[in-house]
Chain A
Amino acid sequence: TQLLEQSPQFLSIQEGENLTVYCNSSSVFSSLQWYRQEPGEGPVLLVTVVTGGEVKKLKRLTFQFGDARKDSSLHITAAQPGDTGLYLCAGRATSGTYKYIFGTGTRLKVLA
Chain B
Amino acid sequence: EAGVTQFPSHSVIEKGQTVTLRCDPISGHDNLYWYRRVMGKEIKFLLHFVKESKQDESGMPNNRFLAERTGGTYSTLKVQPAELEDSGVYFCASSPLGPPTGELFFGEGSRLTVL
Q: Say whether A associates with B.
A: no
